[in-house]
Amino acid sequence: MARRQIKIQQRRPLIIICSEGGMKSSEYYYFRHFCTRDLRIQFSTGNATDPKGMLDNLLKYIQNEDIKSEDNVRIFLVLDTDLDDRRINEIKEIEEKCLKNNIEIITSAPTFEIWYLLHYRDNKLKFDSSQKVKKEIVKENGTYTETIDMYKFIKCNTDKARTTAKLLEKRAVSSGEELIESNPHTSIYKILDAIDDFSKL
């Protein structure tokens, strides 16, 4: 009598994102579009807005959701530098703890919205506040709020934004500038790279 083979269903790859504001953040409204039947994207919970507090919330989420049992998972802590020296130092202070817990820090300066702006033009402007970035988006897009679905406006220019973001990073590194202190910059594209990697599995 032939043995019946038991088919083990493998869980879909998982990306965890921790950002200020959680499921009320610009990051949530953007990245929810990348959740598919082949990829799960989850946002960690918590109300902290400082880097250390956000990391603590993320670590609790990882433990409560048993994330370490996942086979294919990437975890991202998404932080704005706000061009604030104290906040930048706080981000640097948690780097080692993030590394030990396989958490990748993603920074943007001055804010996540610089990622949106890179979809419209090769940005060479320096901004002294997050509000200035948002005003530039309004100039380009005609409208902007943190809860607007920007994905539908910018999705066709994602490759352009990725290229520009990488060039900004390369320029900062080649000039001897520490990336986290460069203005502007964003490493958001690295989350998209992770999504692409998982799509090949």
pLDDT bracket for residue 30 (50, 70, 90): very high
- List strand residue ranges (DSSP E) for the chain, in order: 14-19, 40-43, 73-80, 103-109, 185-186
pLDDT in tens, 35-68: 999 999 999 999 999 999 999 999 999 999 999 8
Percent of the residues in the chain that have a pLDDT greater than 90, as a whole number: 83
Tokens of 55: 């990391």
103 beta partners: 75
Identify whether 86 is part of a domain: yes
Percent of the residues in the chain that have a pLDDT greater than 70, as a whole number: 95
Identify whether 68 is part of a domain: yes
Domain that holds residue 97: 14-199
pLDDT in tens, 149-167: 999 999 999 999 999 999 9
The answer to whether 160 and 119 have CB atoms below 8 angstroms apart is yes
Identify whether 125 is part of a domain: yes
Angle at 175 between CA 171 and CA 178, to 5 degrees: 85
Identify whether 179 is part of a domain: yes
Identify whether 1 is part of a domain: no
Into how many domains does the chain fold? Answer: 1
Residue 191 makes CB contacts below 8 A (sequence gap 6+) with: 15, 17, 31, 74, 76, 78, 106
pLDDT in tens, 68-87: 899 999 999 999 999 999 99
Identify whether 129 is part of a domain: yes
- The whole-model pTM stands at 0.92
Identify whether 8 is part of a domain: no
Residue 200 φ then ψ, to 5°:
-90, -10
The pLDDT value recorded for residue 11 is 84
- Burial (CB < 10 A; 0-12, 13-18, 19+), residue 147, is exposed
Identify whether 192 is part of a domain: yes
pLDDT bracket for residue 201 (50, 70, 90): confident
Average pLDDT over the chain, rounded to whole? 92
